[in-house]
Amino acid sequence: MEESQMRKHVWLVLILAFALIAAACGGDDLEGTSVTVFGPESSEEEAGALQDALDILAERTGIDIVYTGARDFSDQINAQAVGGNPPDIAVFPQPGKIADFARQGLLVALPEDIEDATTDNWPAAWNAFGIVDGTQYAIPTKTDLKSLVWYLPASFEAKGYAVPETWDELKALSNEMIANGDTPWCVGIESGPATGWTFTDWVEDLMLRFHGADVYDQWVDHTINFTDSRVEQVWNEVLDLWNTDGAVFAAGGTIAATPFGDNGQPLVEGKCLMHRQASFYSAFLPDGTVTGP
């Protein structure tokens, strides 16, 4: 595909492809090349490590790499792609959107040598996230461990709380904390145009727990609708927990008004005793906070 045609699409090669290309080409070949990268991570806490990696790559290859992050990435990338002014590389936070864009003809497949390198060096299950209908359009660049519950071990020990091992035990622990005058959870779901994604994480967890992988996959594939009784059951399970009196501390006043990243300080201060969030959340905790398994 010629360059003028290629730039009408979103070239979803992602950061790792840079390294593979750079390894195959001399620095002189890439000197002066300009590449734009667009993704959803915009704050220093979120995008700092990515920017550091890009800076190192730019220094070693001579590529001028410009990264832009925006909370409303999903809306902006849609407009850019349809408008014919996409970035060279887009960092999609959800595989489903990769599939949507690929089927609309808005992505360019990976070059054969890059695809071969990923096939030779990564397991099929990892590469599958970037493959749509048998064609590889993307390379996963990072993974976060979801479904973690951050808590203060010292507070648990001091108050005699045991770490639960089941969902029912977790609910019982929440009720025990409330009865003792403690607030179990810090929750916030505000994230600009992406507000609510933290709620979907809870829903996805419980969909798997209650109904298993087969039903979950049917939900993802739209074989079952969001109005399905099993989906509503899971929504209500989460909302019943959150809406229990005394169950949630929301730094912004309400769950919907509290930015998802604003729960680290209240957790450390003991205003709540648990916060459900991914492994990346350590970047949002106050400086000096010691974390560990």
Is 125 a residue whose pLDDT tops 70? yes
- Could you tell me how far CA 127 lies from the centroid of its own chain? 17
Is 90 a residue whose pLDDT tops 70? yes
Q: At 192, is the pLDDT very low, low, confident or very high (cuts 50, 70, 90)? A: confident
Range in 14-18, 146-150, 191-195, 282-286 the model is least confident about: 14-18
Pair of tokens at residue 119: 């096939």
Q: At 9, is the pLDDT very low, low, confident or very high (cuts 50, 70, 90)? A: very low
Is 251 a residue whose pLDDT tops 70? yes
Q: In angstroms, rounded to a whole number, what is the distance separating the alpha carbons of residues 52 and 41? A: 13
* Average pLDDT of span 257-282: 90
In sequence order, which ranges of 40-94 are alpha helices (DSSP H)?
Answer: 44-61, 73-83
- Could you tell me how far CA 67 lies from the centroid of its own chain? 18
- DSSP letter, residue 283: G
Is 249 a residue whose pLDDT tops 90? yes
Is 5 a residue whose pLDDT tops 50? no
- pLDDT at position 234 is 96
Q: In angstroms, rounded to a whole number, what is the distance separating the alpha carbons of residues 247 and 54? A: 42
Q: List domains and CATH numbers for the chain.
A: 3-136 (3.40.190.10), 149-284 (3.40.190.10)
pLDDT tens string 197-208: 899 999 999 999
- pLDDT at position 293 is 67
- pLDDT at position 75 is 86
Residues constituting the chain: 293
SS3 content of the chain, % helix, strand, coil (to 5): 50, 10, 40
pTM over 0.85: no
- pLDDT at position 16 is 42
Range in 31-35, 78-82, 129-133 the model is least confident about: 31-35
Is 103 a residue whose pLDDT tops 50? yes
* CA dist list (Å): 213 to 95, 209, 221: 17, 9, 12
